[in-house]
Amino acid sequence: MRRAVMILSLVALGVAPAAARAQEADERVAQEPPVVVGEQESDEKTPRWAKEPWEKIRYGIKAGASWAALAGQLPLPGVGTFGFDGDFGFAAGISFEVPVSRKFSIQPEVLIVRKHAEIDLEDSGFEGSEKLSVNYLEIPLLAKWYPGSRRGTIFSLQAGPAMGIRMDALRSSRHADGTIEDVEGETLVKATDWGLILGAGVEFHEFLWALTVDLRYNHGLSDIDNSGSSVDAKWRALYVVAGVTW
């Protein structure tokens, strides 16, 4: 009988600590938040810097298409004063994004932008057509606001001024017989152009770098006419650019 009592006492002493440890483990599990499988996989794929891009300066490269038109009229020596229709060009360059807070950043850029405008002179009673092509070194200074994100995708709104420095300009005249004459157009266009950019963008952070897609509208503020006439002409342009940041 004494031996049985001793055995039962030893068993009780061994079970009590084990039960206490099991209870503590259950309490820790209960306090932990539930884990969603999809979110866990997304976090494992998304680098920490991508989930928190406001913690460092980011660099980027981008390229895309532009569509530009001239609002107003532009004098053409030897022909007359006309309004120009829109045409497609391109935009490409680099960007630097400097975070200010969790939702706000400043992004200066340096872009090479080609803007085209064209007019069919037959619609104005003449023969042939005229095309103006201008290459700008464009320097936007954008304020970016991040309204929210979803599963590694970050949305942004952008706004700010942009200065364009004329690199070169070309006037192409297509005559009635089909021949094309190219002449320098720098005398037609002023050396600088100012505009206001409004746009929106989306960033996909599923890789070691971020894929960005931006849609922008550049509203020209300055008259590009270099002839000194009383008429004015201002650029209106749309950009669709894609790139990567890191």
Ordered alpha helix ranges (H), the chain: 2-31, 37-45, 48-51
Smallest Cα–Cα separation from 139: which of 158, 116, 121, 165?
165
Beta bridge partners of 142: 107
**DSSP characters for 118-170?**
EEEGGGGT-SSEEEEEEEEEEEEEEEEEEEEEETTEEEEEEEEEEEEEEEEEE
pLDDT (tens digit, 9 = 90+) per residue, 201-242? 999 987 778 999 999 999 999 999 998 877 889 999 999 999
Question: Residue 176 above 60 pLDDT?
Answer: yes
Pairwise pLDDT comparison (49 vs 154), residue with the higher score? 154
Q: Where does the pLDDT of residue 198 fall: very low under 50, low under 70, confident under 90, or very high at 90 and above? A: very high
Report how far residue 85's alpha carbon sits from residue 79's, in angstroms, rounded to the nearest whole number.
Answer: 17
Smallest Cα–Cα separation from 46: which of 137, 138, 154, 128?
154
Q: Highest mean pLDDT range out of 86-100, 180-194, 218-232?
A: 86-100
Range from 78-92, 114-128, 168-182 carrying the lowest mean pLDDT: 114-128
Provide the residue type at 41 as one letter. E
Question: Residue 80 above 70 pLDDT?
Answer: yes
pLDDT (tens digit, 9 = 90+) per residue, 8-63? 454 444 544 554 555 555 555 455 555 444 444 444 444 444 455 556 899 999 99
Pairwise pLDDT comparison (192 vs 37), residue with the higher score? 192
Model-wide pTM > 0.85:
no
